[in-house]
Structure formats: C-alpha cells, structure tokens
Amino acid sequence: MSKRNLIIIVLVLGVIAVVTQYVTSHKNSPTDEKVGQPLVKTDIIGSVDELVIKESKHEIHLNKQSGQWLIKEKENFPVDIKKLRDLFDNLTTYQVSSLVTKNPHRLAHFKVLYLSEKYDKSKSTGIQLILKDKGKEIYTLVAGKSRSTASKKDKSMKVSDGTYVRIGYEPLVYLIKENLKFDSSPDFWISKTLIRLEKSNIKAIRINLSDEKYAFVKSDQKSDLLLSDQHTEEQLKKQELSNIVEDLESFEFEELFRRSKKHDRLLELKSEILVEMDDLSTFEFQILTETKAAPLDDEKEDKEVNYFVKVLDPAGKTIKENNKALYRNSKKWLFKMNDWQAKKWLKKRADYIESKN
C-alpha cells in the first residue's frame, strides 16, 4: 500500500472516530431533549391543579377547586386568572436556549439551588416553581440569576437578557433568553375585580346616602337609565352617570382587608347602593370610611380617610352562579377602594343634573 493511501485511510478513520464520539456523547446527553424545547409541555399544564412558588422568605399555593383557581394563603380568595394564564403562556413558549454547565458545584453561582439543598439559602437559591396534579409533583423548575450583557446604547451599563434555570433535580444549568420571574407574594395573585356586570342589563341603580336617596331606572329593557324623579326642566349629565355604570362593568378594588369586629367599629357608613339587573339578580354594597390622623402631619385638622367596600349578602335574592364566591368572601373581607373611585359613589343627586336652560 502506498504512503499516500495510508495517510488518506488514517485521516478518514480519524474523522469517523471524531464523528462517532460526538454522536455517542450527545445521544446519551439529557440536554438534547431540553435545548430548543419549551420549559413546560402544554399537556403538563393541562393537568395541573396546584401551583406552588417557593423562595427563601415566602411560599404560596394556588389551588384549582371546582374549576376555579384560589389562593390558599388568602383563605381561598380567587386568583387573578390573567396573571396565571400569562405565567402558563410563558412556561409553554419560552424555550431552553443552551446548556450552561453540568458542574454541580456551579449551581450556587447561578442561584439555582433548591431550598432543601445545604447552601447559604439567602444567596444561592432561586425561586422554585412546583406543578402538581392531585397532590403529586409532576414538574419543578428553579429560576435563578439573570444573565447580564452590555447595553447596545451604553456599553458601561448592563441589561438583563436571559435567565439561568434548573429543570428538575439534575445538577444541570440551562439558559433561556427571556427574563423569567415568579412572584411568591399572595397579594400579587389576588383577583382585584369584585364583579363584572353587563351595562346593557342594568335595570336600576339605587343610591342611599346619609341625607338623601335617589335612583336611576330604566322604564323597559330598551330604554336608557334616567333619574326616577327627574323633572321636565332638568337635564341628566350623561357622563356622570356613565362613570358609575362603567365602574360596574369591572368593579375593582385596591387592596384586600381582613374583617374584624374591632376594625368594623371604626368604620362609618357613607352610602349604600343596590344594583338591580334584568335577570332579577342584584349587587348590593356599602361605601364605608375609616378616618384617622394623617401621619407626620402637624396640621391637626388634616385627616387620612380610607374608603372600603362592604358587599352585602343578597339574602333571599337571585344569585348568579359565578358570583357566589364573591358573597362567600365578603363575609371575611373588606375591599379598600381608591379615593377617586369611592367618591363617584358618594355624589349627591344634584351632581347628576343641570338646567336645560
């Protein structure tokens, strides 16, 4: 055999050996199954009935009961379903970009240790997400530190352009190109929409203030809401009425406040409102105020006023199925309102009318 042919054979065998080693090593590697794949498969999300988020100081449990997601730490108050859907969408669309390291001693550096693993928990652990089905853990992930790169506009500044994650319990660190965060605060997950009413189905709005009563009523289903005692020389300020009607389309609150007898005694009733619907269902609530001295204020006359909504039990009245949870929760909670929202419901009858002249 010539020397030239021998060299060619050696080179070919060398290439085959390198290719064989590469294919073999990657065939057995678990990274092939994850890189390029979404963090979570959609079929896993479809079976989830409990979600747990853990970090060093907080832990939250979201549970699905009878088709509704509830917050365990808030005595089963409803979850903001949009925020939950956004989380699930992120998990099923964010893809694993690359494997960063297989070295278990690097887990702490990337902050992807679990709380149960023996390291400095405040510095080396990430935020853990656990998905369960009927009490059994079916998926877990740790979101660790963010990857930072130099800003294109200012090289001296760094911006986050990815997140290091650990999927399951293997000591493998992956990178995704998105910024992934999990919030373990119960207040973050609260649904702040008390009720949604279709404005075209509102039959009447009856407002009872401490010194007067008035009502907006429809004469039939096709007519508009008008003051029940409107005089011929009076003209309704439609925008003022529209403001409270639109509020009922998505009646929201600012903060959840646990009821107590002690706190209830500090509240003053300002207004009571009854909303009647065409289907005979109702929504009845009170606007209450809590007044206390403004903090760090030398002016004694200045007071801090907080506004709360108290939802009344519609005893003996029609309750729509999707509103039953609202009335159960209203026995435990008050709902703090923004000042500007509360004041819409405290207006006098005269604020809604003007002279035709």
- The fraction of the chain above a pLDDT of 70, given in percent, is 81
If one compares 67 and 116, the residue with the highest pLDDT of the two is 67
CB of 297 closer than 8 Å to CB of 323: no
The pLDDT, as a whole number, for residue 21 is 58
**Which of 91-95, 181-185, 273-277, 294-298 is predicted with the least confidence, judged by mean pLDDT?**
294-298
Q: What is the mean pLDDT of residues 258-285?
A: 93
Lowest average pLDDT, out of 125-139, 267-281, 321-335, goes to 321-335
Residue 140 structure tokens:
């877990």
Q: What share of the chain is helix, strand, coil (3-state, %, to 5)?
A: 30, 40, 35
Distances in whole angstroms, Cα of residue 283 to Cα of each of 202, 280, 343: 10, 10, 19
CA-CA distance, 61 to 51, in Å (whole number)?
A: 6
Give dist(CA 330, CA 53) in Å, integer.
27
What b/e sequence results for 266-286 when a residue is b if at least 16 CB atoms lie within 10 Å of its CB, and e otherwise?
ebeebbbbbbbbeeebbbbbb
pLDDT value at 18 more than 90? no
- Quick one: how far is CA 228 from the chain centroid? 40
Which residues, 6+ apart, have CB-to-CB distance to 313 below 8 Å?
Answer: 327, 330, 331
CB distance 218 to 204 below 8 Å:
yes
Please give the biggest Cα pair distance in the chain: 117
Q: What is the mean pLDDT of residues 78-94?
A: 96
Task: Tell me what pLDDT residue 42 has.
Answer: 94
pLDDT of residue 156: 52
pLDDT at 169 > cutoff 90: yes
Find the mean pLDDT for residues 51-63: 92
Instruction: Give whichever of 95-109, 112-126, 311-325 has the largest mean pLDDT.
Output: 95-109
Task: Give the Cβ contact number of residue 351 at 10 Å.
Answer: 11
Q: What pLDDT is recorded for position 314?
A: 77
**Band of the pLDDT at 295, cuts 50, 70, 90?**
low
What DSSP line would sit under 202-265, residue for residue? EEEEEEEESS-EEEEE-SSTTSPPEETT--TTEEE-HHHHHHHHHHHHTEE-SEEEE--HHHHT
Is residue 245 scored above 60 in pLDDT? yes
Could you tell me which residue, 211 or 314, shows the higher pLDDT?
Answer: 211
pLDDT at 139 > cutoff 60: yes
Residue 151 in this model has a pLDDT that exceeds 80: no
The pLDDT tens digits for 304-350 are: 899 999 999 876 666 666 677 788 888 899 999 999 999 999 999 99
Q: To which residue do tokens 């070295």 refer?
A: 103
The confidence score (pLDDT) of residue 9 equals: 61
Main-chain phi, psi angles of 147, to 5 degrees? -85, 135
pTM of this structure: 0.80
Confidence of residue 30 (pLDDT cuts 50, 70, 90): very low
C-beta separation of 273 from 357 below 8 A? no
CB 140 within 8 A of CB 131: yes
Q: What is the pLDDT of residue 239?
A: 94
Structure confidence at residue 25 as a pLDDT band (50, 70, 90): very low
Q: How confident is the model at residue 31 (pLDDT cuts 50, 70, 90)?
A: very low
Q: Give the Cα separation of 266 and 305 in Å (integer).
A: 12
Query: Which residue, among 133, 147, 139, has the nearest Cα to 169 in the 3D structure?
Result: 139
